[in-house]
Structure 1
């Protein structure tokens, strides 16, 4: 039995990991603290998945475990600790904790002598002060750019901290210097000894003060950048399983924004699998069943022979989505195009300035950036989304 810890259902699990496990002939049980949110076709078992002891006990009480892992940012450390207690392959729990805690990430990289990003942790109700601007304030353990803001001075910082604390009164925050440069991603798969590169993307962000990703273009890092990233990931102890790293390329060196100890999200993992032409989700499962990276046959991302561009359609205001295209697939000028909804028609939501505003994701995979970009522009022009207040 393969056990997968999760919170709410995601595309990565429903469209990626569960079909991959079925293709491998491996039965799966999803452990979740929200069993009623999952489709009835998914075998789930209720469990307080943030508690490693509870996860350990539930797995021990069930069919014999061949593997245990998670693709949730929130559950990596707890799941890794449970896997260790059960003697199963898994991530290093301390490394998983360092990646989730943005202040601990900064300390580990600085202690290794690799980079110093000036940062300060604000405990709940602690006065918001900082001495380097522009700066970024965000939850220490946050995800998906939620409540992450660019601030220009102490007054701006105080306003944002007050705003965030209304929503998260008990959450420690981090204030850190703003890192200028091109925003990039670096995606890896690893076993206990080897870290292999899947590739990377160049990211276009929306306007400040928030950090919403609007577009990603295929752009694997050059060897020197890969070496610099590997040194920083080594300092964090990143190795096993999937990892998605965000960084800026500044003055010919990579500087970490954050490290997410899971696959790239928001359907980018499914698009990456299509671009590389590999069963990426099967590879992740096989690693957690004890196979080494060397047996997977990963392609060299710099010689894939294709390129890709991804764009997110964002809500420009709060309201109810009353009309939207369903899943669409097309081919134009040799470019494979796709549109996948990320918000259901009838859903009412406020505008957040994060990826929670995404209505749909569009992607194009083809022979070169110019052809891909032109095809995606034409494809998007024929699609409409309507929000009513």
Structure 2
């Protein structure tokens, strides 16, 4: 039985998550990618124009696959269309499109009467024209991912500068300018089978200084019942309900305001940490949903009686990383600790103020917040990263 995963560049989610999970389920897995040379030689890959649903169908159809899925923001719609054409369980292509297109997602939420966020789309090569009353605002790619090329701007002149900066790297990208939604950034993680939706919990995200939105830490903080109800309403308006979904939001005056919805697992190794925290084979569960199993067949916990905290070590300057800790898994009292490198020693990189500056991810899982924070601080104090400009 063969499983196909569509992907672009190699990610920890695929290499350390989905491929081992497929093997545990007795499935043969093949990665469909348009970048086969970037993948490790021991990973079965097939070259495919993965942004094209017709090409994905052609690559997979001859082997009669049992499942087709993706964990890439960029490939959800094409993969959903291909799965539907192959008669396989999958996401609703329209929901995948709405989640990817930030302007369309805003319109769908507003049409459902749930929230109105002032948003202006700037087409490629067009001058940014935004009402002065919208500032402060956030400019970002209309179909971007995470915090890449997302900036806080406080007035029109600053917006012009940021638009030019983004276009110097990505001239053909459409942008959106949205009113800035003030509040503490939080996440909501879900799994669904197309009929039922399970709440896995969520995180409280600590951000670095503006104008960028770099995630520097995440602390386990599941939403309360009122917040969950509002979040589900918004996901329903987008048609989200199958497989994994990662939602970012703030709470303002008791009201949920979505930042964005990423129709896949949470990233930057948080998916692997979440699986450890929940004590479940999360990647196997996602695959099983794509095999057509109902949510009720999965052994999801009713409650989580542990606490977790994650911290990203970020470069504070441009230069070459000349010394860094290796991978580490250890125990400090009742806390399981880990350090996973995200940049290899010897690599030279520019300082960007975004998640491209990540050097490593540290995490701790233990009985309570105080214990985990203390153990994680002790671990971080013993580790050192050296960058030479």
Bin the TM-score by the shorter chain. Answer: over 0.9
Give the secondary-structure state (helix, strand or coil) at the position aligned to 2:292.
coil
The structural deviation recorded for 1:351 is 1.3
Q: Is the 8 A contact 1:84 1:90 kept in 2?
A: yes
| 1:197-232 deviation digits (Å, cap 9, x = unpaired) | 111000000000000000100000001000000000
Q: Residues 39-188 of structure 1 correspond to what in structure 2 (within 5 A)? A: 39-61=40-62, 63-131=63-131, 132-188=134-190
| 1:175-202 deviation digits (Å, cap 9, x = unpaired) | 0100001100000000111111111000
Q: Residues 162-311 of structure 1 correspond to what in structure 2 (within 5 A)? A: 162-300=164-302, 303-311=303-311
Q: Is the 8 A contact 1:144 1:354 kept in 2?
A: no
In 2, Cα distance between equivalents of 1:92 and 1:383: 45
Q: Which runs of 5+ in 2 are unaligned?
A: none
In 2, Cα distance between equivalents of 1:219 and 1:8: 31
In 2, Cα distance between equivalents of 1:58 and 1:273: 31
In 1, Cα distance between equivalents of 2:346 and 2:143: 31
In 1, Cα distance between equivalents of 2:5 and 2:329: 30
Tell me the TM-score normalised to structure 1 length: 0.98
The structural deviation recorded for 1:144 is 2.4
Alignment partner, residue 315 of structure 1: 315
Alignment partner, residue 330 of structure 1: 330
The structural deviation recorded for 1:333 is 2.3
In 1, Cα distance between equivalents of 2:85 and 2:329: 45
In 1, Cα distance between equivalents of 2:256 and 2:372: 27
Runs of 4+ with >3 A deviation: none
Task: Confirm whether residue 373 of structure 1 aligns to residue 373 of structure 2.
Answer: yes
In 2, Cα distance between equivalents of 1:334 and 1:3: 39
Let me know the Cα RMSD of the aligned residues.
0.7
In 2, Cα distance between equivalents of 1:128 and 1:353: 23
In 2, Cα distance between equivalents of 1:99 and 1:121: 16
The structural deviation recorded for 1:40 is 1.1
Give the secondary-structure state (helix, strand or coil) at the position aligned to 2:40.
coil
Tell me the TM-score normalised to structure 2 length: 0.98
In 1, Cα distance between equivalents of 2:256 and 2:92: 24
Give the secondary-structure state (helix, strand or coil) at the position aligned to 1:299.
coil
The structural deviation recorded for 1:249 is 1.3
Q: Is the 8 A contact 1:29 1:44 kept in 2?
A: yes
| 1:320-365 deviation digits (Å, cap 9, x = unpaired) | 1111100011211211100000111111111122111100000000
| 1:281-308 deviation digits (Å, cap 9, x = unpaired) | 00000000110111002112xx311000
The structural deviation recorded for 1:60 is 1.1
The structural deviation recorded for 1:129 is 2.2
Give the secondary-structure state (helix, strand or coil) at the position aligned to 1:308.
strand
In 2, Cα distance between equivalents of 1:85 and 1:348: 44
Give the secondary-structure state (helix, strand or coil) at the position aligned to 2:266.
coil
In 2, Cα distance between equivalents of 1:9 and 1:31: 11
Give the secondary-structure state (helix, strand or coil) at the position aligned to 1:360.
strand
In 1, Cα distance between equivalents of 2:49 and 2:322: 36
Q: Which runs of 5+ in 1 are unaligned?
A: none
